[in-house]
Amino acid sequence: GGGGSPGDLLYVNGNGKVGIGTSNPTYKLDVNGAILASSGMKSLGGDTGVYGQGATYGVYGKKGSSSTGNFGYLGSTNYGAYGKSFNITGIYGEGPTGVHGKSTSNSIGVQGDGGTGVYGNGTKIGVYATGGNWAVWSQGNCHVTGVLTKSIGAFKIDHPLDPANKFLYHSFVESPDMKNIYDGVVKLDDKGEAIVELPDWFEALNTDFRYQLTAIGAPGPNLYIAEKISNNRFKIAGGKAAMEVSWHVTGIRNDAYAKAHRIKVEVNKRPEERGKYLAPIEHGFPESLGIGYAERMRIKTEQASFLEK
């Protein structure tokens, strides 16, 4: 009933707050002890849907058996949010920012383990990343289905002569075509000729061949391609007996995927991109004129607003 003494199991104070196991309720319903809800729990309105604080789990939910169910919790010393599913999705988020993770140290904001660690599917961008040092760091192989665009490409390795103290960079070889490069060294026979054998997939992959020959050790002004590539081989002639010749052949990719997705060398910017730049600062313009700048600022604003709640 209403009122009650401090020893009552149910206590209602003058402000309409209800206490169970406590005589000093601080919320509309204040329970001192465990709660069992056979039909689940639902919260409407307010800034916080469900809030929990505990030594092990802040919020813990489980569905089904251990082999098919799902569970998750929020608020531990190791995880801000943790979800596990034996079926499909560990943590699912929907909204302007589906899942947001923030680390207060140099550790991990969002981590995913499983067959697919992190999966993104968006109408514009599947996964968007920015970083102080690296936007994306991939420890292992990386596969891209589609076109990979970049401003600069290079490999980076430990320097062969001073691996403990230096790195070595090399830029990629670029071309407006889907060009493949092949080379080698061959020794000419007694007639000053040689047959160069190529892989059995060579002509299936390539077309539109280009050739270059260089004599090694002595002049070879008469070197020439006696027979063009056919049946995955070509013939060199015009050299001296036992001469070494360096050969260089290029071809344009002619496989089914390449033919269906030729790279357009010159492309007009879309109306919303005109007057903006991939590298505005390098062109002498402010960062605010960068393509994608407004979207990055919108995401940062949404994240800041979320964290303030």
Q: What is the pLDDT of residues 144-185, one digit of tens each?
A: 888 888 888 888 999 999 999 999 999 989 899 999 999 999
Same-domain pairing of 191 and 234: yes
What pLDDT does 252 receive?
98
CA distances from 181 to 20, 118, 202, 279 (A): 78, 35, 11, 30
Gap between the Cα atoms of 60 and 68, Å rounded: 17
Same-domain pairing of 256 and 212: yes
pLDDT tens figures, 19-47: 888 888 888 888 888 777 776 666 666 66
Same-domain pairing of 58 and 88: yes
Domain count, the chain: 4
E strands, 165-296, in order: 167-171, 179-187, 194-197, 206-216, 224-227, 233-237, 244-253
Same-domain pairing of 284 and 214: no
Structure tokens at 92: 């699912």
Same-domain pairing of 185 and 238: yes
Gap between the Cα atoms of 130 and 113, Å rounded: 21
Q: Is residue 23, in this structure, part of any structural domain at all?
A: yes
Same-domain pairing of 229 and 202: yes
Same-domain pairing of 187 and 240: yes
Q: Is residue 100, in this structure, part of any structural domain at all?
A: no
Q: Is residue 169, in this structure, part of any structural domain at all?
A: no
What pLDDT does 150 receive?
84
Q: Is residue 173, in this structure, part of any structural domain at all?
A: no
* CB contact at 8 A, 86 and 115: no
Q: Is residue 43, in this structure, part of any structural domain at all?
A: no
Q: What is the identity of the amino acid at 118? A: V
Its domain, for residue 282, covers 275-308
Note the pTM of the prediction, 2 decimals: 0.63
Q: With a cut of 90, say whether residue 292 has pLDDT above it.
A: no
Q: Is 21 exposed, middle or buried (0-12, 13-18, 19+ CB in 10 A)?
A: middle
pLDDT tens figures, 76-121: 555 555 666 666 666 666 655 666 666 666 666 666 666 666 777 7
Q: Is 74 left (phi over 0), alpha (psi -120 to 50) or beta?
A: beta
Range 4-9 average pLDDT: 56
What pLDDT does 169 receive?
92
Same-domain pairing of 288 and 246: no
Gap between the Cα atoms of 10 and 31, Å rounded: 9
Q: Is residue 42, in this structure, part of any structural domain at all?
A: no
Same-domain pairing of 31 and 3: yes
Q: With a cut of 70, say whether residue 192 has pLDDT above it.
A: yes
* CB contact at 8 A, 11 and 22: yes
3-state secondary structure of 31: strand
Gap between the Cα atoms of 244 and 210, Å rounded: 20
3-state secondary structure of 65: coil
* CB contact at 8 A, 275 and 200: no
Which of 248, 233, 236, 181 shows the shortest CA–CA distance to 203? 233
